[in-house]
Structure 1
Amino acid sequence: MTTKPIVGITMGDPASIGPEIAIKALLDPAVYDSCNPILVGDAGVFTDIAQRLGLAVSIHPVTQVSDAFFTPGTVDVYDLNNVDLSQLRFGEISAMAGGAAFAAVKTVIELALAGAVDATVTGPINKKSINEAGHHFAGHTEIYAHYTNTKKYGMLLVEEQMKVIHVSTHVSLRQACDLVKKDRILEVIDLLHNGLISLGEENLKIGVAGLNPHAGDSGLFGTEDDQEILPAVEEAHRRGYDVDGPVPADTLFSKAATGYYGGIVAMYHDQGHIPFKLTGFKWNAAKQQMDSVKGVNITMGLPIIRTSVDHGTAFEIAGKGVASPDAMLLAIESAVKLARQRVKEIKSESDKE
């Protein structure tokens, strides 16, 4: 890795706020102080949004990372040239947009596996558009796991003191309950512990949420807490982890927000996402828009680094110039931190040899 890590950033769905927040993030000189960023997607899409919004940047298309300038004011784009701007409509689901978004993700994974970029950051995608393009994945996490051949992985959400990883993510609630198993919970505890270390966190105390109300209340409201979650927590103790659980979720997250826990294991998607977004997402009712959208999604367990904004495509405001780049800036910051930590770990292992 060079002095500054090279970070590949995907455009997300071209009909979404993805291209807008990517360019806005690169208008911040601090990004170039910490890394060498390169966008991955259609250069024409970035040129169009920059002109529409009057953003003071020059778009520099390249076909290989080595041709990038990495200069503030000039946005390098690894150009896939796969969007027909005459057919693109902001806020609309389409196979063309989904195909372009998917191609950007697949390409940045390939660049990372080849060592051309040191970390990857993803913009928001629309799952229906991607599926209409013939790519049948539930989301970014599953795409990354597939193309890196990763079997054990987890979605870690990070926003200041709130750090949440999930036992299951993009499945139905009925399926999620069936996936609450001891082995998977242990696997996720391990991923979270390693993730906290990679992020440089000192507080490694982990709280594990119960599945049922009151964590089952000794079997009165379900048996999963006693039969699957508690044995996993007990085994984690034996392995040396500082872990509590199962803790009723309505109590667990209020304590997590104060910094009591370094990280939380949620049993399913909404159990973790709702309290997390209450912390990082700030809606301005008077202006009818978000004042800030903070939160980073990190996929743990991959052989490459992947962080992402933890918000959707926001089709309703696409192309209007009001989208906040806060989450993109935080995702880039986290990617840089993880890239530098990975270099330290590699050097440490080399020194031992």
Structure 2
Amino acid sequence: MNILKPIVGVTMGDPVGVGPEIILKALAKREVFEYAKPIVIGNPNVFNIVRDRCDIDVDIVEVSENRIKDLEYRVGKVYIIPIRQPELRNITFGVMSIEAAEAAYNSIVKSIELALSGAIDAVATAPINKVEMRMRYPDFIGHTELFQNMTRSPFVITMFELENMRVFLMTRHVALREVFRYITREAILEAIVNAHRFLEALGINNPTIAVAALNPHASDGGLFGDEEDRIIRPAIEEANRMGIRAIGPIAADAIFWFGRQGRYDAILSLYHDQVHIALKTLDLPGTVGVTLGLPFIRTSPEHGTAYSRAGKCTAIERGMVNSIIIAAKYAYTWKRNWPKIKTYFETK
């Protein structure tokens, strides 16, 4: 047993979605255990149902949280810290319920408590359904907000990772016509600086950050808009004067190809679909979201609960495998650098 491997807590996700299935399939993969010591947090009844239904070759063992650091982690052995409320002795896959929401919520809360106590080093969360969660918790917004609130973290963002690409977003869930209001010189500079600080906290020294253009062909010298020359390039130049290696603007139809070749350490994308179309076309099941700004790393597959596949034993586990491995990859370095990040955003 390699004591240097981080312990990654894996939350159950929505018990009537594909979460339990992709977790069990992931923990049957040797590559996961080459990087991490994964421990599941959830309802054992659900995992036993899914294992038997899908004939997944793993042993499920319930353990108490005070044994986490002493376990012998190995492929095919699924250790579960049991969350028994509610019991969920019978579930209907693909059908939302208050009980399923409560089970998912309790799993998340326990994972945060374990991470804050130091019992685990990082968290990988299986997908949940926000509509279902609001059936039980009307004020629920999402995973990220719950993690941020419970850890009292001052500033949290999501970085997307696939293969050797890391991507940050300027704007997320806003209408496309509203995007232009948020793309200012000051906002782009701030996003570049934040990405730089987060990347260094992940152990990537002096990272190169490529900034995507807004207009086709990066406006082709002003033929298709002037935002590149008027807003984006000045922000990049100011970042350079601050000692940050930012480059661009680079045409959005090429930047992800270059990123996949390893030309940059990260990409700053300007709006939601600019990045998500690229990443999810490349590998929808395998793309991972990394929550940065917490005292610990939290990752999650970028796909949802996939109710149409739930209980059919056809779910693809690649995103869960990647989530556990990426959480483990960054866990120790992030925890070591977290105090500096926290101080920076508290005093900003």
Q: What interval of TM-score do these two structures reach, taking the shorter chain for normalisation?
A: 0.7 to 0.9
Once the two structures are superposed, the pairs formed by residues 266-305 of structure 1 within 5 Å of their partners are 266-281=269-284, 293-305=285-297
* Corresponding residue to 2:126 among 116, 123, 126: 123
Equivalent residue number for residue 153 of structure 1 = 156
Query: Which residue of the partner structure matches residue 4 of structure 2?
Result: 3
Match of 2:113 in 1: 110
User: If the length of structure 1 is used for normalisation, what is the TM-score?
Assistant: 0.83
1:340 to 332, 338, 347: 332
Single out whichever of 68-77 and 297-306 deviates more from structure 2.
Answer: 68-77
Corresponding letter in the other structure for 1:20: E
CA shift, 1:39, in A, is 0.6
2:200 and 2:206 in contact (8 A); partners too? no
Partner of 2:342: none
Q: Which moved more, 1:11-20 or 1:69-78?
A: 69-78
| Cα displacement (A) at 1:118 | 0.6
CA contact (8 A) 2:42 2:83 kept: yes
Structure 1 counterpart of 2:101, which letter?
G
Whole-angstrom distance in 2 between the partners of 1:265 and 1:110: 32
What's the TM-score, normalizing by structure 2? 0.84
Residue 26 of structure 1 corresponds to 27
For 1:155 and 1:177, how far apart are their aligned partners in 2? Answer: 21
Aligned-partner SS, 2:248: strand
Higher deviation after alignment, 147-156 or 59-68: 59-68
Q: Partners of 2:331 and 2:204 in 1: how far apart?
A: 15
Alignment check: 8 A CA contact 1:155 1:298 kept: yes
More displaced 10-residue stretch of structure 1: 18-27 or 85-94: 85-94
Pairing 1:310–2:313 present: no
Structure 1, unpaired ranges of 5+: 282-292, 347-353
Say if 1:343 and 1:266 are closer, same or farther in 2 by CA, change over 3 A. closer
Greater CA deviation, 154-163 or 5-14? Answer: 154-163
Q: Does residue 327 of the first structure (1) align with residue 330 of the second (2)? A: no
Gap regions ≥5 residues in structure 2: 339-348
The 3 A distance-change label for structure 1 pair 2 and 246 is same
Percent of residue pairs identical: 39
Give how far 1:177 is off: 4.0
Match of 1:240 among 228, 239, 243: 243
**1:308-345 Cα distance to aligned partner (Å, 9 max, x none):** 11222111111111112212111111111112334665
My pick for the range that moved more, 92-101 or 45-54, is 92-101
Relative CO higher for 1 or 2, CA cutoff 8 Å, sep ≥ 6?
2
Greater CA drift, 170-179 or 74-83: 170-179
Aligned position for 2:345: none
Any residues of structure 2 matched to 1:1-353 within 5 Å, and which?
A: 3-66=4-67, 69-72=71-74, 73-85=76-88, 88-197=91-200, 204-215=207-218, 225=228, 228-281=231-284, 293-342=285-334
CA distance in structure 2 between the partners assigned to 1:181 and 1:102 by the alignment? 37
List per-residue Cα deviations over 1:50-92 (Å, max 9, x = no partner): 1111223232223424257344343111211134536632122
Q: Return the alpha-carbon distance in structure 1 between the equivalents of residues 36 and 294 of structure 2.
A: 21
CA contact (8 A) 2:296 2:335 kept: no
Residue 148 (structure 1) shift: 2.1
Return closer, same or farther for 1:145/1:9 CA change in 2, 3 Å cut-off. Answer: same
Supply the RMSD in Å over aligned alpha carbons. 2.9
The answer to whether the 8 A contact 1:296-1:307 is kept is: yes
Change (3 A) 1:135 1:57: farther
